[in-house]
Amino acid sequence: MPSLRKVVIVDYKLSNLFSVNNALKKININAQISSYKKDIASADLIILPGTGTFSAAMKNLRENDLLDNLASHIKNGKPFLGICLGFQLLFSSSSEIKKTIGLNIFKSKIKKIKNETHAVPNIGWNKIKIIHKKNPKLKSEYFYFVHSYYADILEKEQKIVSSYIEYQKNKVCSSITYNNIFATQFHPEKSGKKGLELMKNIIKFYK
């Protein structure tokens, strides 16, 4: 992997930019917040955070003409970190509000969590369970979640799942690892010391 001379947090007007940036500062990483194509194109590591709806996110990325740049970054093997909504956008589509096509890096779909035994959205701390210990190093720790939708991983894509949580009596994907991509349904930047440790491990892995 190339050295991380330029870390860019993508600003698409829906995301928790400053909490991510503040977390990076705590581990001595200077990042640039930007919605400009030239910055995305020249980034060594892209971070796509997110809060809000899938459809609004894709609309904003499209209007800022960033979709091709994000796809090229990933296709060219450059490091990519997706957080929460930024994790979900990697998949083919979502049923949130209306069916919306995503970045389509993976063919699995984003679906609404069924209200069975727990309240929806899933808000709070949950302990992730590790499926494989690919880098960056994951540990079975508690992380902070806020989401009403989840990635329904296809059988043929199960190899990308690096951890899961148990919720509504089901296993819910909590992170994926695939080549240059690492993405989490949870918020490491809001998960205290353990979250910062994970972000530090991600940066170390990509350096």
Residue 38 CB neighbours (<10 A): 9
Which of the following is catalytic: 84, 141, 147, 173?
Answer: 84
Q: What share of the chain is helix, strand, coil (3-state, %, to 5)?
A: 30, 30, 40
For the question of residue 84 being annotated catalytic, the response is: yes
Q: Which of 151, 150, 177, 152 is nearest to 163 (CA)?
A: 177
Tokens of 63: 């209007």
For the question of residue 173 being annotated catalytic, the response is: no
CA 158 to chain centre: 17
For the question of residue 118 being annotated catalytic, the response is: no
Which of the following is catalytic: 96, 118, 187, 197?
Answer: 187
**Residue entry with tokens 């998960």:** 191
Which of the following is catalytic: 96, 147, 173, 189?
Answer: 189
- Are 84 and 20 in contact by the 8 Å Cβ rule? The answer is no
Instruction: Give me the residues paired with residue 187 across strands.
Output: 144
Using CA atoms, how far apart are residues 50 and 82, in angstroms rounded to an integer?
A: 8
- Are 19 and 192 in contact by the 8 Å Cβ rule? The answer is no
The amino acid present at 45, given as its one-letter code, is: L
Active site amino acids = 84, 187, 189
